[in-house]
Chain A
Amino acid sequence: EAGVVQSPRYKIIEKKQPVAFWCNPISGHNTLYWYLQNLGQGPELLIRYENEEAVDDSQLPKDRFSAERLKGVDSTLKIQPAELGDSAVYLCASSLQRANTGELFFGEGSRLTVL
């Protein structure tokens, strides 16, 4: 069975440019997470979906970040415009059960460098 798939793995852009990351969760997993991971830090939640509903986006900087999960499967995270401080790894994860009971399966991450 395929794991969580993310693309692109690496992205280098100039500041003020837009960027988008895509995530395909494990088939059947209803919960999907986007995390931000800075170098030497733990993952920080940006947004959590239960099916197609964003149930926790309190940490998502909504002035420049947006996300969607159409049809409750794949998800896209967008940054527009990107800033230097957005350089980080963006991790997508999915789980089968509700957030407080299940294992998270992570993708390989999308490493963003903003110049």
Chain B
Amino acid sequence: GENVEQHPSTLSVQEGDSAVIKCTYSDSASNYFPWYKQELGKRPQLIIDIRSNVGEKKDQRIAVTLNKTAKHFSLHITETQPEDSAVYFCAAFGGYQKVTFGIGTKLQVIP
């Protein structure tokens, strides 16, 4: 089955700096990679996703890059703001139609 590794597990940045979270996956058949944001006590919500036929996708301050050869994808948040503080999960939709999540990265943006 699919194995998704995510790091770092915690990340603290100063407001205005950039944050990068990285994930690797094992199933070469995986073809869809979403990122979810989960605020404390709330539901995970999709913030950006990328499909295997694309190398990069941007949405305002958020971008995701995918390297299929190396089997890794990354979330980039620029000009971080306090409201970006949350837990971020990467996920991979694998060849067995199974969604596997990473363990999460707790991002703290320090004002």
Contacts and interface: CB of A to CB of B under 8 A. Distances in A.
Nearest to B101: A42
Interface stretch (B14-22, B61-69, B78-86, B91-99): B91-99
Interface string A74-115: 000000000000000001000000111101101111000000
Most chain-B Cβ atoms within 10 A of its Cβ — which of A99, A100, A101, A106? A100
Interface residues of A, number: 22
B66 to A, nearest CB: 15
Most chain-A Cβ atoms within 10 A of its Cβ — which of B42, B44, B46? B44
Interface of A: 4, 33, 40-45, 48, 55-56, 91, 98-101, 103-104, 106-109
Interface of B: 6, 31-32, 34, 36, 42-46, 49, 89, 91, 93-94, 96-104, 106
